[in-house]
Amino acid sequence: MKVVINDCYGGFHLSHKAIMAFAKRKGFDLYAYITSFASNGMKRTPYREGDVKDEIFLSYFKKPLVDGEEDNYYFSVDEIERNDKDLVDIVEILGEESNAFTSSLKVVEIPDDVDFVIEEYDGLESIHEKHRSWS
């Protein structure tokens, strides 16, 4: 089985191009918004290609935003299983273009029968076989 992890400090993130490709493969639309903060609170502005270079300030929604509905339609890359075939394919096809500002994505192959967890330290991830532990 193939699994996508982040291979640098910073954290797992996908580029805008990779996120939009994932949604297209899964058959749903996504709407990107630039999130900014001001003294009067958070503001979201529809994203147009090239508006920002640092994609970490983009938020994604499954419907165009209407005030008060943000939480109902929010999409996070954290929802994606790391062994999702479409995610793996996108990272393999796009290569470095799948990386966001703080990531360096890598596809790792592990045995199919392994029950795994992804552990991270400051965003640098590794795959471990699940086991029991107590504290």
| pLDDT tens-digit readout, 40-80 | 888 888 898 877 666 667 899 999 988 766 677 899 999 99
**How far is 24 from 13, CA to CA, in rounded Å?**
18
pLDDT of residue 53: 63
pLDDT of residue 90: 98
Instruction: Give the pairing type, strands 41-46 and 2-6.
Output: unpaired
CB 16, CB 30: distance < 8 Å = no
Q: Where are the domains of the chain?
A: 2-129
Burial 110-121 (b: 16+ CB within 10 A, else e): eeeeeebebeee
| pLDDT tens-digit readout, 86-113 | 999 999 999 999 999 889 999 999 999 9
Q: Which has more pLDDT, 55 or 128?
A: 128
For residue 104, count other CB atoms closer than 10 A to its CB: 17
Q: Which has more pLDDT, 101 or 14?
A: 14
pLDDT of residue 132: 77
